[in-house]
Amino acid sequence: MIPKDPVMLLSYINTQLRDFYSSFEGLCEDKGLNAEEIQMKLSGIDYVYDLDRNQFV
């Protein structure tokens, strides 16, 4: 279960990317997450995925 609060979700996703995954796509695929839904929630707090940095910034 992933956090519903956007700020907590941001922290969770970026930690997973930093510690375990080389891509957001790989994280979503492995955990069965809806990438579009996560991107929409995080864009609501002005964060977008940066492919080069492999994190939401």
Whose tokens are 């790989």? That residue is 26
- Domain assignments of the chain as residue spans, ordered by start: 6-45
Q: What integer pLDDT is reported at residue 1 of this predicted model?
A: 86
12, 3 contact by CB (below 8 A): yes
- Count Cα atoms within 13 angstroms, Cβ side, for 22: 0
Q: What integer pLDDT is reported at residue 37 of this predicted model?
A: 98
Q: What integer pLDDT is reported at residue 16 of this predicted model?
A: 98
The pTM assigned to this predicted structure is 0.95
**Could you state, in chain order, the average pLDDT of each consecutive group of 10 residues for the chain (57 residues)?**
96 98 98 98 98 98
Amino acid at 25: E
Please name the helix (run of DSSP H) or strand (run of DSSP E) that holds residue 40, with its range, or none: helix 35-43
